[in-house]
Amino acid sequence: MSARRSILLHGCAILAMFAAVACNPGGAGSSDASGDEPSVAAGARIFADEFSGTSIDRSKWAVYTGTVYNDELQAYVDNADNLYIAHGDEAAGATDGALVIRARLHEDGGPRFTSGRLHGRVPFSYGTATARMKLPAGAGLWPAFWLLGEGAWPDHGEIDIMENVGDPSWVSVALHGPGYSGNTPLVHRDTLPVSHDATGWHEYAVTWTADSIAFRVDGRPVYRVMRADVAQYGPAAALDSAKYVVVNLAIGGVYPAAVNGVREPMLGLPESMLPRIRDGEAKVLVDWVRVTR
């Protein structure tokens, strides 16, 4: 989701993705998650942030402030009210501090909602990308952790490691590329334990190789797509292109609306959420992000 037109179609893609999940929870990839995970040589860390400092490390992250797509309601801004490093009680459960991405409600002119989005500065091809995150509950909140290809979208692919639209009982994963970017069949919804839903700390991960893409939650395999699965729908080479990490929190838009059915007065966001956003409750915490090969 950058200033390039890469996400111009993403709203339609994610709306169709929801329909695909609803009709076929296993997607078209290999839904048997019980097999061995692809092996990746241990130890070679190519990008990481532990968020243990006092401010966002701008040598590792670019703060996105460009065009917003998907009919989302927020503007992405570079503001310490929306993006900051927390310690102490606010970061309880984190290892040593946490990134906070917080949506804000404004009633004094300008954008009504603001939020934050970070792009990792290190593109890579193949490896394991993992983030330990704690999500907010609430209809219309749309946090995501994903990999976006450099260049035009969907030609260079997209790997959605975790998306959530406010229902803490599940998260979704998906692949997008040419031929499978709209009503993508390469999608899966993972149900989380009732006792430990998305509002608790979880590790969301993908292992990406030339032969397969395997998603995990807390080390538990949830979905795998083989290269041959991708090739049924379009060029698998799109998923070979270098990609960078993205973490963000969107508000409303087509995907939340497809799930919660809210279209008026704000697309995908019920009015009952306004006090919670005003009170600062709409926030994502990220303990760390690590990419290894």
pLDDT of residue 43: 65
pLDDT at res. 14 = 39
Q: What is the pLDDT of residue 69?
A: 87
Domains and CATH numbers, the chain: 5-292 (2.60.120.200)
Residues 6+ apart with CB under 8 A from 68: 74, 75, 76, 250
| pLDDT per residue of the chain (293 residues) written in tens, 0 to 9 | 333 333 333 433 333 344 333 332 233 334 344 444 444 445 699 999 999 999 999 999 999 999 998 999 999 999 999 999 999 999 999 999 999 999 999 988 889 999 999 999 999 999 999 999 999 999 999 999 999 998 898 999 999 999 999 999 999 999 999 999 865 789 999 999 999 999 999 999 999 999 999 999 999 999 999 999 999 999 999 999 999 999 999 999 999 999 999 999 999 999 999 999 999 999 999 999 999 99
Q: What pLDDT, on the 0 to 100 scale, is given for residue 125?
A: 95
Residue type at 16 in one-letter notation: A
pLDDT at 24: 29
**pLDDT tens digits, residue range 151-199?**
898 999 999 999 999 999 999 999 999 999 865 789 999 999 999 999 9
Cβ-based neighbours of 173, under 8 Å, separated by 6 or more: 160, 161, 162, 163, 187, 188, 190, 206, 215, 222, 223
User: pTM for this one?
Assistant: 0.87
How far is 273 from 262, CA to CA, in rounded Å?
12
The pLDDT value given to residue 292:
97
d(CA 104, CA 216): 31
Instruction: Give Cα 129 distance to the centre of its chain.
Output: 12
Helices (H) and strands (E) in the chain, counts: 4, 18
- Residue 23 DSSP class: H
Q: What angle do CA 242, 6, 2 make, to 5 degrees?
A: 80
Rounded to whole angstroms, the Cα distance separating 138 from 151 reads: 33
Bridge partners (DSSP) of residue 105 are: 113
pLDDT of residue 108: 85
Position 184 scores a pLDDT of: 75
